[in-house]
Amino acid sequence: MEAVRALATLSQFTSQQWGLVTTAQANGAGVDRVTLLRLTDAALLRPVRRGVYAAETAPPSPLHETHAVWLSLNPSTPAWLRTGLDPDGGVVSHVSATRVHEVGDLVADSVDLTVPRRRTSRDPAVRLRFPRNRPLSSEDIVLVDGLPVTGLARTIIDLLDTHTDGSHLAEVIRDGVETDRLDLTTLAPRIGKYASRYGLRSPDGERLIEHLLGQIGSSITALAWRFPVQRTTDSHNSDNAAVSLARTPASDPEPRGVPDARLETQRPEGS
CATH number at residue 51: 1.10.10
Establish if 224 belongs to a structural domain: yes
Write out the residue range of the structural domain in which residue 220 sits.
Answer: 155-251
Q: Does the residue 189 lie in any domain?
A: yes
Q: From CA 256, how far away is CA 271, in angstroms rounded? A: 30
**How far, in Å, CA of 113 to CA of 84, rounded?**
12
Domain boundary among 64, 81, 96: 64
Q: How do 141-144 and 126-129 pair as beta strands?
A: unpaired
Structural domain contains residue 37: yes
Of 198, 240, 234, give the one whose Cα is nearest residue 219.
Answer: 240
CA atoms in the 13 A half-sphere facing the CB of 261: 6
Of 154, 175, 192, nearest in space to 104 by CA: 175
Instruction: Give the residue from 44, 64, 84 where a domain finishes.
Output: 64
Instruction: Report yes or no on 87 lying in a domain.
Output: no
Query: Is 7 part of any domain?
Result: yes
pTM of the model: 0.82
The reply to whether 104 falls in a domain is no
Domain contains 257: no
Residue 4 lies in a domain: yes
Q: State the burial class of residue 224 (Cβ atoms within 10 Å of its Cβ: 0-12, 13-18, 19+).
A: middle
Residues 31, 191: Cα–Cα separation, whole Å: 49
How many folded domains does the chain comprise?
A: 2
Q: Which of 64, 90, 119 is the last residue of a domain?
A: 64
In order along its 271 residues, the chain shows pLDDT tens digits of: 688 899 999 999 999 999 999 999 999 999 999 999 999 999 999 999 999 999 999 888 899 999 999 999 999 999 999 988 899 999 999 999 999 999 999 998 899 999 999 998 889 899 999 988 889 999 999 999 999 999 999 999 999 999 999 999 999 999 999 999 999 999 999 999 999 999 999 999 999 999 999 999 999 999 876 554 444 434 334 333 334 554 433 333 434 454 544 333 334 434 3
